[in-house]
Amino acid sequence: MSGQSLLVPGEITPVRSVPGNIRRPEYVGKPAPTPYTGPEVQDADTIERMRIAGRIAAQAMEEAAKHIAPGVTTDQLDKVAHDFMVDHGAYPSTLGYRGFPKSLCTSLNEVICHGIPDSTVLRDGDIVNLDVTAYINGVHGDNNATYLCGDVDEESRLLVERTRESLNRAIKAVKPGRQINVIGRVIESYAKRFGYGVVRDFTGHGINTSFHSGLIIPHYDSPHATTVMQPGMTFTIEPMLTLGTHEYDLWEDGWTVVTKDRKRTAQFEHTLVVTETGAEILTLP
């Protein structure tokens, strides 16, 4: 594995502005969102609006990813995604969510998730996860992917490739009538082939007019995930695989989650809707 030094928090720049004509999610300016009480199965109009939100989120992530290179700061990546979403009439869902100060999450190397963009400079050999969610027309679209920065060691490169494959296999397992735990079963069984850890305490989630609806999508085979998938149900799958333990520590910022053994980790995510025969990915560029 790469012998690079471990990450330390950088300097966070001021909050970026969003034009006043762009609709905000209800939680902006509040300590927490209002709990969602609506259905997990969405109507055709909501799903169509989620396709739009998902497409913008995917395009914003792609645009930011084009700028991944040694010497670029994670704050610069945040600006690219922020500007793209705002230019397309969307609000960056993470901005102001429970006080999160930026418009996407940038999670490097040993960071499992929720890394805050700051003055951290990307280095040759880093792996970089971008997690982008867009809010438009009253709904959210959420996706993430892990990218290679420069010349990345083979162990890390394989981790990234196999994490992407675990998501692809999980999506294929989505079928109406099946329990949610089939998703985690597929991911965990694949990850175990390579001795990878599967993060348990951060999961996929229901998503619609709510950023996180309360529906939980574990990435391991949980006996409690017995909810039966139905056509029209919308949620994310976002496996986080590690080169070591699935256990984690939390930085003092209250957001940045790092592997307890500080070994590398990768993640991929799509927002999906369950169809009559399987799943449609809503976060396609």
243-285: pLDDT as tens digits: 999 999 999 999 999 999 999 999 999 999 999 999 999 999 9
Query: Mean pLDDT, to the nearest integer, of 91-117?
Result: 98
Residue 2 has pLDDT above 70, yes or no: no
- CB neighbours (10 Å) of residue 137? 15
Task: Look up the pTM and report it.
Answer: 0.96
pLDDT of residue 213: 97
The owner of tokens 């939100």 is 53
Q: What whole-number percentage of the chain has pLDDT above 90? A: 98
Average pLDDT, the chain: 97
Q: What is the pLDDT of residues 177-194, one digit of tens each?
A: 999 999 999 999 999 999
pLDDT of residue 4: 77
β-sheet bridge partners, residue 236: 271
pLDDT of residue 1: 47
- Strands (DSSP E) contained in the chain are 91-92, 105-108, 111-113, 127-136, 139-148, 197-198, 204-205, 216-217, 234-237, 240-242, 248-250, 257-259, 265-267, 270-274, 279-281
Query: Mean pLDDT, to the nearest integer, of 108-136?
Result: 98
Q: What whole-number percentage of the chain has pLDDT above 70? A: 99
Cα dihedral value 161, 162, 163, 168, nearest 10: 100
pLDDT of residue 3: 63
Residue 31 has pLDDT above 60, yes or no: yes
Cα dihedral value 212, 217, 222, 226, nearest 10: 90
Is the distance from CB of 160 to CB of 127 less than 8 angstroms?
A: yes
191 phi, psi to nearest 5 deg: -60, -35
Q: Evaluate the CA torsion angle 217, 218, 221, 226 in order and state its sign.
A: negative
Among left, alpha and beta (phi > 0; psi -120 to 50; other), residue 71 is left
Query: Mean pLDDT, to the nearest integer, of 132-156?
Result: 98
- Which tokens hold the place of 175? 């079928």
Query: Mean pLDDT, to the nearest integer, of 38-60?
Result: 98
pLDDT of residue 131: 98
Give whole-number Cα distances, 264 to 10, 101, 128, 129, in Å: 19, 25, 11, 11
